[in-house]
């Protein structure tokens, strides 16, 4: 029995290697759990930020009513009131002098030729052409002044007239093209003319503000009018309502004139709204 004792003691050496693989099996599942818990945290804040970026910009329903443009229009007019008055007076006085000179020439020629109507036709033609030329200069000057006043920027008379002279040909061409398109539309049962007016009402502001050509300014106005159709219809509607009191003699004309002066910069205010997406007053 004694010689068999050492043989029974040798087998206990086998369980020792069995204990060695256990630690690596216990350590292996510990490491992957830490990165899996941190990965889903990062994408969640990025998604709402990207969804909030577009916002309501460009939605015509977010723009204020056309009646609410009286206040920002009047504030813009007051900001450069002296420049508005001086440019207006220069245009009126200059055109008045030209009309008087050619009128006097027409009356003088009437005494020599004896034809009153025939002598006035050249006067009417010349004064009409000069009036159109003045509109080509003072028109862009006034549009520029409106845009700068809405942006709260002071403008001198010389600066505005300089812009008017620079854009003279383009603005004159735009006025002629718009007059033909809208005029033909009004001849076709009035309704097409209203749609053409809504379509191109902002073209002068695009031409002056962005220094565009005639067709490009009309294209930009047409694209914007589709997006902000209701906002521009409101502008046209209020403008028509302002002119209605003028039907009544004297008092009605005074009321229309006062309201028209207060609403003079409203198209520039609306132009700024539709190009920036920022309403001029709080939307209720």
Sequence-ordered list of residues with C-beta below 8 angstroms from that of 24, at least 6 positions apart, any chain: none
Q: Can you give the pLDDT at residue 283?
A: 62
183 falls within a domain: yes
229 within domain boundaries:
yes
Token code pair at residue 69:
């443009």
Q: 24 in a domain, yes or no?
A: no
Residue ranges in the chain modelled with pLDDT below 70: 1-61, 98-99, 102-120, 123, 282-284
Residue 15 lies in a domain: no
- Least Cα distance to 261 among 76, 89, 65 occurs for 76
Q: Is residue 226 part of a domain?
A: yes
pLDDT value at position 65?
Answer: 92
Residue 119 near residue 189, CB atoms below 8 Å: no
Instruction: For 77-113, write each residue's pLDDT tens digit.
Output: 999 999 999 998 987 887 777 667 766 665 565 555 5
Mean pLDDT of the chain: 78
* Structure-token pair, residue 52: 């909030």
Domain with 252, as residue range(s), is 63-274
87 close to 112: Cβ distance less than 8 angstroms: no
Largest CA distance in the chain: 166
43 is a domain residue? no
pLDDT at 254: 94
- 21 found inside a domain: no
How many domains are there within the chain?
Answer: 1
**Residue 49 within any structural domain of the chain:** no
């Amino acid at each position: 029995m004694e010689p068999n004792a050492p043989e029974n003691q040798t087998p206990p050496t086998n369980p020792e290697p069995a204990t060695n693989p256990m630690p690596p099996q216990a350590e292996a599942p510990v490491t992957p759990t830490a990165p899996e818990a941190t990965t889903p945290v990062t994408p969640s804040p990025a998604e709402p930020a990207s969804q909030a970026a577009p916002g309501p910009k460009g939605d015509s329903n977010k723009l204020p009513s056309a009646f609410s443009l009286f206040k920002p229009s009047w504030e813009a007019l007051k900001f450069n009131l002296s420049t508005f008055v001086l440019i207006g007076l220069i245009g009126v006085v200059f055109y008045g002098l030209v009309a008087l000179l050619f009128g006097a020439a027409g009356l003088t020629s009437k005494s020599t030729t004896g034809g009153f109507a025939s002598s006035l036709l050249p006067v009417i033609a010349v004064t009409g052409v000069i009036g159109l030329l003045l509109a080509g200069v003072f028109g862009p000057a006034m549009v520029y002044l409106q845009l700068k006043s809405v942006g709260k920027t002071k403008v001198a008379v010389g600066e505005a007239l300089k812009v008017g002279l620079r854009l003279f040909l383009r603005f004159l061409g735009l006025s002629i093209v718009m007059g033909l398109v809208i005029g033909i539309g009004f001849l076709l049962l009035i309704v097409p003319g209203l749609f053409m007016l809504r379509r191109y009402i902002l073209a002068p502001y695009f031409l002056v503000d962005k220094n565009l050509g005639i067709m490009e300014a009309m294209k930009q106005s047409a694209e914007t009018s589709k997006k902000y159709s209701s906002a521009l219809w409101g502008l046209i509607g209020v403008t028509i309502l302002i002119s209605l009191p003028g039907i009544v003699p004297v008092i009605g004309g005074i009321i229309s004139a006062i309201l028209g002066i207060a609403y003079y910069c409203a198209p520039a205010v609306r132009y700024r709204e539709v190009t920036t997406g920022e309403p001029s007053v709080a939307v209720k």
